[in-house]
Structure 1
Amino acid sequence: MDIIITFIITLTYILLLLPYKLSIAADSIHLSQPLTNGKTLVSKDGTFELGFFRPDGNSIKTYLGIWFKNIPVRKVVWVANRANPVNGSKDIMLTVNMTGNLVLTQDDTVVWFTNIQEQALNNNSVAVLLDSGNLVVGNDRQGYLWQSFDYPSDTLLPGMKLGRSLKLGHDWKITSWKSPQDPSPSEFSWGLLHHDNYPEYYIMKGTNIKLSRFGPFNGQNPSGVPEIRYLTTSTDPLQNRYEFVTNKDESFYRYSYNTTNPVISIIVLNQATVFRYVWVEQDQIWRTYRSFPKDKCDTYGLCGAYGNCIIKRGQMCQCIKGFSPKSPQAWTLTDWSGGCVRDKPLSCNNGTQKDGFIKFGGLKVPDTAHASLNETMGLEECRDKCLNNCSCMAYTNSNINGGGSGCVMWFGDLIDIRHFDDGGQDLYIRMPTSMLGTEHRRERRIIIYITIASICGLLLPCLYFVWRVHKKIVDNIKGKLLKWPQRLNIICGVCRGLVYLHQDSRLRIIHRDLKASNILLDQDLNPKISDFGTARTFGGDQTEGNTKRIIGTYGYMAPEYVAKGIFSVKSDVFSFGVLLLEIICGIRNKAYYHTDDNLNLVGQAWTLWKEGRASELIDSNIENSYVVSEVLRCMHVGLLCIQQNPNDRPTMTSVMLMLESEMRLEVPKEPGFFYSNISPDSCLSRSRRDRSLAYDVTFSSFGPR
């Protein structure tokens, strides 16, 4: 509605200018003011530009397109006449005709036009390039009659819909360029297939060949892309807000920026791969932030029916428990297309023998081409209905939020399943009675084996590692051995470790006691995060927890954790920010006191940053080994991490990109705990804890958490 109001206001302004023969507004054209070669339209805010271009400088083929105006590496985001280029640039013209259509001509021959179905009621139709990059045609009486967002090329911009208008029978689909020099539509597309009201997005070759599948939306994310989470609020400039909508009129996906000062990013289909590109101003390049398919397991149907793709296995295709390869010989030769067959047949509730279901977790659910959706049905009712239908092979919740809701049932073979270490969802697969008891006993044994293996296989080598390197670590930290390149390597290494804990591991892990003494270095000074005695794990959609038992080290703990017992990934981000400042300054936060202002290291860094004197805090031991701007940028990132409000702090994924690129950084807000006279006594009552904090040692007792 806001966009339509803006359009009408702009249109009214343009129409008022017409009688006075003033220059046409730079973002629009109309009946008496066409666009010719050499001229362009520029959106009101200067972000986008429309004009004629040649993708190959040596070619005579000319196209009408839209691109980012102020980015020197031109990325065309929309092309009008993709399938019908103009030869040369002579006598080409874009205008709005008497019927309200936008028409591209050369020598009075129509090359491309908008084909508006609704007849314009007057001759005042205007084409306007909006700040969103959307080229719209309309008038003050009818509003929009046509918009380029309804006819995407290879690029999905914020606000564009990808999906299908059920009401109009129109597909919003992305189609790749044939090559970087040829914008004509290739055979590769990215769009929605609407299966029994349970739509999924696919990358297709032609109209029938599925190359990759994103999985149905499960209330949090597409089932096959767990790292893309449905967001409602965030201040992270790299996290987009995703929206998935399905109703009787339309089904679509779209995204928008989360902040008013976002990182410029676009989503592009390049041949058979979807890329999210981020513009890095300092390096003047488009950098890949994320892509899909991300690995071999995203290849559609790679493991065949009832095959489960596990990327970390030597042989990535594995048959689901209770199934074996249909062709063992082909399977050995890594030809998994034949899939798997059951070890024992189903009884379909024949006589006393009854089938049941075994739950498999962490999965991308199967292709929904032969699935049925009922959003009002609960999981138990869903199970009963599936059990009573001999053709139903699996079921699960359609929405995994809030304990789960809705019912999806699969009929026929289960195709295109993969396993995730982090994310994924439960799937209940039909099994014969003989498999049910065996599986339950086996699960108990596996839990015991994993526990023993974790203790013997991981803990003992870690203790040995600590014993061998501890003296070397202390010497490095206390002495002058660590120059800036080594310190930066430690900073980035710890950051990567936290990204793994927060995002890439199967369960989201909150360390809760990140500090200098819990970072171990090997002989090559590569950092390892240690001491997970106080760590907590989150599963599903859980993002934060609360405890009355505060455990940690004063000087590193986030303010919301100390004051209220609230911990999340942003608690670790705060600790990392303190650690980053300590590495730069060469002194611990709690050991630094500025006597004039009673400030600790965090407080002094904040004060000097505001005064433009932050370089005074850089450790003199790294003199002649660093570039001032690089160190100050790291300090800037550290201040973003220790902001008082956890919602203002970036995620560790964003921190990683900040450290490895020259992307624009936001101005940090006031940090938490920057006065040295703030004591944990007000928050931690037990003297035992107070003593542990004073000596920079973490205290915890044995017991359930």
Structure 2
Amino acid sequence: MSGLSFSILILLLCTASPPHLLATAARDVLAPGQVITGNQILVSAGGTFALGFFYPGSESFGRKNRYLGIWYNRIPKITVVWVANRDQPVTDPAAFLTVTEDRNIAVVDSDRSSMWSSDVPGVPNGTVAMLLDSGNLVLRQENGQDVWQSFDHPTDTFLPQMKLRYNQKTGIGQRAIAWRDVDDPSSGNFSFGPISQQLVIWRGFKTYWRVSYQSTLGWYAGSTGGVQCSIWVSRVGDEVSFGITGAGGSVPPRCTLVPSGELKFMVWVEASSEWVPTSSWPSRFCDFYAHCGPSGACDSNAKPPTCRCLQGFVPKNQTEWEKKIFSSGCVRRVRLQCSKSDKFLQVESLKLPDRSRIIGKKTEAECKIECLSNCQCTAYSYANTSVESDGYICQVWYGELIDLWIDDMDGNDLNIRLVASELDKMEKSFMFLLPVLVICALLVGTGSYFLVKRLRSRARKRTVRKTMLLEDVDISDSFGSDKGFSDAPLVDLKSVRCATSDFSDTNKLGEGGFGSVYKGKLVSGHEVAVKRLSRGSKQGHHEFANEVRLIARLQHKNLVRLLGWCTDQDEKILIYEYMPNKSLDKLIFARSEELSLEKRLMIIEGIADGLLYLHHHSRMRVIHRDLKTSNILLDNEMNPKISDFGLARIFEINQTEGNTRKVVGTFGYMSPEYAIDGVFSEKSDVFSFGVIVLEVISGKRCTGYYPCRESLNLLGYAWELWKEGRAVELLEPAVKSSCQADEVLKCIQVGLLCIEEDAADRPTMNSVVSMLKSESSVLPLPKQPGFSFGRNLRVRVGRSPRSFIYGLSESILEGR
């Protein structure tokens, strides 16, 4: 058949029925030999998305170039989310979409030439093209497996359930590319994608904006029109994935890289029939890459934000800086001479500079030595910048420091190498100012009688406190007696060193960002756990004092006992009863088969009893704020004991909630209201307890990959199983043979009730204990949990109206 005859045949087919009848008969499957042309469309089974040919832009654009695309089907404003032939538009009016003889989906013109194709070799017979309600176009085999999907070939838009991948081993990753213009779908100048340890927007080949993986974990992208949006990053093996989630609303949200280079999170608002952005990046002064030039720091705390040079650096071009032209950056006041006497200036709350080299999981001391031993090394950091919860890694930088950003509500510590004379000069300046400061302090102090009286009272208490030998601590009373004590003894450092063989590595039980834990053995034969905080510990003086003050005054069988404490110059040490079965996470995630169902239920009830004591029955109402499996220790008989009270807060009798600008805790266990708004209460601990319940029952971590839907965490996975009546399948396979279905279902139901999104809907611990121990009570039905979509909501709130830093609580520990 000639090309002209074929064109006439296609045109006759198109005019045989009116266009609206073709749309009415739209289907979601295209089989081999079937075609779509003209205004015909495929519509997903639920009617959410449509696939067909479209003309971009207005009449003035020409209405000549046609593209095959996917758009939202239920809204009046056509919004394209994917374009097949973006760089090869169709001008032939008789061109059509079909599944070819080799079972590929292709756009074919009237000359039977392929304009675009999925181009998959060896597609088996019976394969069809199908448009899913997720917005994904797939080639699906008869067995339900997909051999190709449009989600693997993104254009400018991300949808929920879509992944953008990067392989850290091969360095190969996917990118989204913006449209060239609002009415031109061809590849534009901006692209976006994950690379090693960060997400990046490029302008051409140059970085335009970047953010670390750890900073994006659980980014809350805003809430509009009842739709809550977040961004997630996950890692499975060498593959890192990026995606979005959205809960609520009739139309799925989208994240689009617009032609101007902004990454916008958009939500459809029915009331106004328009797309409303909930978040966009970059949008602030300091968001833009290297805004302040090499070694220049963008200070977002200044009003207005501006650029400045860090200590030891000066503007490279002072005249330009005075004119607010910062691109030349900063230079060192004194050049490095590659001396081992060089020192490091620690700068807090920085977005770490670009172009780092990852040395690996070394200790902080080893990281410092690594940098000092290399003449090219200019800075190092020991921080959690990974998507793993234990992701403390050593990073070093060579040469200039690019893209520095100071933000008190975000960032990590950076140790910048300086010649010793620079730091000595700073110390001398401080010594010069010190007398002035002391005089001012004395003048203020003498003007406040009550303050002086209080300070003297505290000083008097400190002078009468006596240290005692660790051997003299009443271990037996601390282990077994119900008799409480009002204060833990201050222990002599020498006796602690003796018990731990001078903190010998052979006695080390574990370590983390806080420092190390050692086993100590007394002459009496008793064993203790010694927590030695490192000098650079994330647990500072306030947290240390808080733990001593709180835990020494709390007495319950399900709380770990503090036997004593020690401070000596830079040393900060806590001494606990020894827990031979280590922490709960070590057991349920590494040796889960050793834990029977009965013991799991006993552990859950024990944690609930301990938490109920903290909230209602102790002398002080205590909110733990960092409840997680690694903070639950197990004694000889597998009795759980809650530990690590460094982040805990005391509530007044009538106080219902508190608020903080610095959100601290552990990703995955934090409640939505705490992670997003900084509001914490008893219900925050209840949420954490619910997460622990699901982890203990399933033997799975709350973060990671779950088979129900690729983007769900454990909370979402458990919820999906519950809705489908398959909740028992959540139980750890190793203990299913001894499954008491009623007890398991009750625990899962209690866990789901505890992790509900609205704090008001969660039960109190009083109710939780009652539900767990009652054999006849009728439990309420749970609602959809908070943070059930995306990875790690280990949440860090990103660019919402309020921004927070999430301090990771580095709890220890192997056995103590």
Question: Structure 1 residues 340 and 376, CA, compared in 2 at 3 Å: closer, same or farther?
Answer: same
**What displacement does 1:26 show?**
1.9
Residue of structure 2 in register with 1:180 after alignment: 182
Residue identity matched to 2:265: R
Separation in 1, partners of 2:762, 2:240:
43
1:269 aligns with 2:257: yes
Q: Counterpart in 2 of 1:127?
A: 129
Which residue of 91, 96, 102 maps to 1:93?
A: 96
Matched, 1:102 2:90: no
Q: Deviations over 1:153-209 (max 9, x none)?
A: 11011232324357887542111112221111112111244xxxx343322222x22
Q: Give the aligned partner of residue 203 of structure 1.
A: 201
The residue that corresponds to 1:474 in the other structure is: none
What is the aligned partner in structure 1 of residue 269 from structure 2?
Answer: 280
Alpha carbons 1:159, 1:256 under 8 Å: kept: yes
Q: CA RMSD in A?
A: 4.5
* Separation of aligned partners in 2, 1:243 and 1:365: 19
Instruction: Measure how far apart 1:139 and its partner are.
Output: 2.1
**Pairing 1:323–2:320 present:** no
Instruction: Choose which of 383, 386, 389 in structure 1 pairs with 2:374.
Output: 389
Partner-residue secondary structure (3-state), 2:320: helix
Q: How does 1:194-343 map to 2 (within 5 A)?
A: 198-206=196-204, 208-214=205-211, 216-217=212-213, 220-222=214-216, 228=219, 238-240=228-230, 242-245=232-235, 247-248=237-238, 250-257=239-246, 259=247, 264-271=252-259, 272-311=261-300, 312-314=302-304, 316-343=306-333
Q: CA deviation at 1:262?
A: 8.2
Distance 1:185 1:167, change over 3 A: same
2:219 is paired with a residue of what secondary structure? coil
Distance 1:278 1:116 in 2: 34
**In 2: Cα distance, 1:159 partner to 1:328 partner:** 50
Distance 1:411 1:119, change over 3 A: same
Q: Is the 8 A contact 1:237 1:263 kept in 2?
A: no
- Unaligned ranges ≥5, structure 2: 1-23, 445-620, 632-644, 660-670, 684-751, 766-816
Deviation at 1:409, TM superposition (A): 1.0
Give me the whole-angstrom Cα distance separating, in 1, the residues matched to 2:90 and 2:401: 48
What is residue 466 of structure 1 aligned with on the other side? Answer: none
Q: Is structure 2 residue 109 aligned with structure 1 residue 118? A: no
Aligned counterpart, 1:407: 394
> What aligned pairs does 1:524-543 form with structure 2 within 5 A after superposition?
none
Q: Deviations over 1:375-430 (max 9, x none)?
A: 32222211111111111111113525878611111111111111113111111111
Q: 1:430 to 1:180 in 2, by over 3 A?
A: same
Q: What is the identity, as a one-letter code, of the residue corresponding to 2:64?
A: I
Taking the TM superposition and a 5 Å limit, the aligned residue runs for 1:631-646 are none
Tell me how far 1:374 sits from its aligned partner.
3.1
In 1, are the aligned partners of 2:338 and 2:375 still within 8 Å (CA)? yes
- Say if 1:323 and 1:342, in contact at 8 Å, map to a contact too: yes
Q: Distance in 2 between matches of 1:154 and 1:314?
A: 33
Percent identical: 31
Matches within 5 A, 1:501-540: none
Partner residue, 1:619: none
Question: Aligned partners of 2:756, 2:338: CA distance in 1, in Å?
Answer: 55
2:209 maps to a residue whose letter is: S
Residue of structure 2 in register with 1:160 after alignment: 162
TM-score computed with the length of structure 1 as normaliser? 0.57
- Distance in 2 between residues matched to 1:283 and 1:672, nearest whole Å: 39
Deviation at 1:78, TM superposition (A): 0.2
Cα 1:27–1:165, aligned 2, differ >3 Å: closer, same or farther? farther
CA distance in 2, matches of 1:114, 1:253: 26
The answer for the alignment partner of 2:417 in structure 1 is 430
In the superposition, relative to structure 1, how do residues 571 and 150 fare at CA in structure 2: closer, same or farther (>3 Å)? closer
For residue 361 of structure 1, the aligned residue among 329, 348, 353 is 348
With over 3 angstroms needed to count, the CA separation of the structure-2 counterparts of 1:555 and 1:547, relative to structure 1, is closer
* 3-state secondary structure, aligned to 1:397: strand
Matched with 1:641 is: none
Alignment check: 8 A CA contact 2:48 2:251 kept = no
Q: Greater shift after overlay, 326-335 or 268-277?
A: 326-335
Give the conservation status (yes or no) of the 8 Å contact 1:573–1:650.
no
Alpha-carbon distance change, 552 to 75 in structure 1, aligned in 2, over 3 angstroms = farther
Deviation of residue 137 (structure 1)?
1.4
Which runs of structure 2 are paired with 1:418-497 in the superposition (5 Å)? Answer: 418-439=405-426
Q: Is the 8 A contact 2:624 2:648 kept in 1?
A: no
CA, structure 1 residues 573+364, in 2 after alignment: closer, same or farther (shift >3 Å)? closer
Find the aligned partners of 1:56 and 1:395 in 2 and give their Cα distance: 50
Aligned to 2:769: none
Matched to 2:110, the amino acid is: D
Larger RCO (alpha carbons 8 Å, 6+ apart):
2
Q: Give the AA of the match of 1:55.
A: P
1: CA distance, partners of 2:678 / 2:352: 32
Gaps of at least 5 residues in structure 1 are: 1-22, 457-533, 559-565, 578-643, 652-667, 674-705
CA change 1:25–1:168 in 2 (3 A) is: farther
User: Which residue of the partner structure matches residue 524 of structure 1?
Assistant: none
**Alpha carbons of structure 1 residues 199 and 307: separation in structure 2 relative to 1, 3 Å:** same
Deviation at 1:280, TM superposition (A): 1.4
1:612-647 deviations in Å (ceiling 9; x for gaps): xxxxxxxxxxxxxxxxxxxxxxxxxxxxxxxx9784
In the TM superposition, residue 274 of structure 1 has moved relative to its aligned partner by: 0.7
SS at match of 2:279: strand
**Structure 1 partner of 2:55:** 54
Is the CA contact 1:31–1:97 (under 8 Å) kept in the aligned structure 2? yes
Opposite residue 269 of structure 1, the aligned amino acid is L
Aligned to 1:680: none
Counterpart CA distance in 1 for 2:209 and 2:121 is 37
- Partner of 2:371, secondary structure, is helix
**2:193 is aligned with 1:191:** yes
For normalisation by structure 2, the TM-score amounts to 0.50
SS at match of 1:430: strand
- 1:532-681 counterparts in 2 under 5 A? 549-551=650-652, 553=654, 568=674, 647-649=755-757, 669=761
1:373/1:398 contact within 8 Å kept: no
> Cα offset for 1:287?
0.7
**What is the aligned partner in structure 2 of residue 462 from structure 1?**
none
Deviation of 1:346 (Å):
2.0
Counterpart of 1:31? 32
Superposition pairs of residues 63-82 of structure 1, within 5 angstroms: 63-82=67-86
CA shift digits 1:17-72 (9 cap, x unpaired): xxxxxx99921112122222222112222221111111224223221111111122
Q: Give, in whole Å, the separation in 1 of the partners of 2:322 and 2:208.
A: 23
Local SS of the residue matching 1:86: coil
- How has the CA–CA distance of structure 1 residues 336 and 228 changed in structure 2, closer, same or farther, with 3 Å as cutoff? same
Number of residues paired by the alignment? Answer: 460
Determine if contact 1:114/1:146 at 8 Å carries over to the other structure.
Answer: no
**Compared CA separation, residues 108 and 152, structure 1 to 2 (3 A):** same
Summarize the Cα distance change of 1:538–1:435 in structure 2 as closer, same or farther, 3 Å threshold.
farther
Deviations 1:269-316 (A, max 9, x none): 112111111111222111111111121212221211110001335571
Find the aligned partners of 2:304 and 2:677 in 1 and give their Cα distance: 36
Cα distance in 2, alignment partners of residues 554 and 152 from structure 1: 50
- 2:367, 2:406 → 1: CA distance? 23
Contact 1:156-1:267 at 8 Å conserved across structures: yes
